[in-house]
């Protein structure tokens, strides 16, 4: 995502040390990118990505407050099953565009094939 030259990226993890480590890693690769640590909110974000397991079960809480989503924003959920999580369903009802986790997986297949020694990465 940082390769797409966003004006800034805001990260949140319940484990602050994980957030700090990810920020350092992103900053090392993209030193001019503003990488902030913030609360789990979609307010003011053009793109909000759920990278947690929240959403795999029907009774899971939402990762952030749906009422803060802008209708012009994109909400991405990396959860594979269900394909349409409650987060994506409610975000779509709020007028936001949504992106399912399956698209992330399909974008990683070539790297997975190479990682497991089953062939060369297709570029």
| Helix, strand, coil percentages, rounded to 5, for the chain | 35, 15, 50
Question: What confidence score (pLDDT) does residue 28 get?
Answer: 95
pLDDT at 2 exceeding the cut of 70: yes
Rounded Cα distance between 59 and 35, Å, is: 32
pLDDT, tens digit (0-9, with 9 covering 90-100), for 61-110: 999 999 999 999 999 999 999 999 999 999 999 999 999 999 888 888 88
Helix (H, G, I), strand (E, B) or coil at 93: helix
Contact 34, 7 (CB under 8 A): yes
pLDDT, tens digit (0-9, with 9 covering 90-100), for 4-43: 889 899 999 888 999 999 999 999 999 999 999 999 999 9
Count the neighbouring beta carbons within 10 Å of the beta carbon of residue 77: 27
Cα Rg for the chain, rounded, in angstroms?
16
Question: What confidence score (pLDDT) does residue 114 get?
Answer: 86
Only one residue has tokens 């190479």, namely: 114
Closest CA to 5 of 29, 22, 25: 29
Give ranges for CATH 3.40.50.720 in the chain.
42-123
For residue 76, give Cα distances in angstroms to 27, 49, 55, 102: 22, 5, 12, 10
Question: Class of 42-123 per CATH?
Answer: alpha beta
């Amino acid at each position: 995502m940082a390769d797409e030259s966003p004006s800034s990226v805001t990260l949140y993890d319940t484990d602050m040390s994980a957030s700090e480590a990810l920020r350092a890693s992103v900053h090392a690769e993209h030193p001019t990118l503003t990488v902030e640590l913030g609360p789990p909110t979609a307010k003011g974000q053009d793109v909000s990505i759920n990278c947690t397991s929240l959403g795999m079960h029907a009774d899971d809480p939402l990762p952030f407050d749906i009422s803060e989503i802008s209708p012009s924003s994109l909400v991405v959920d990396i959860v594979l099953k269900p394909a349409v999580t409650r987060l994506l369903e409610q975000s779509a009802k709020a007028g936001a565009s949504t992106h399912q986790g399956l698209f992330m997986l399909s974008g990683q297949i070539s790297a997975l094939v190479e990682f497991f020694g089953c062939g060369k990465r297709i570029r």
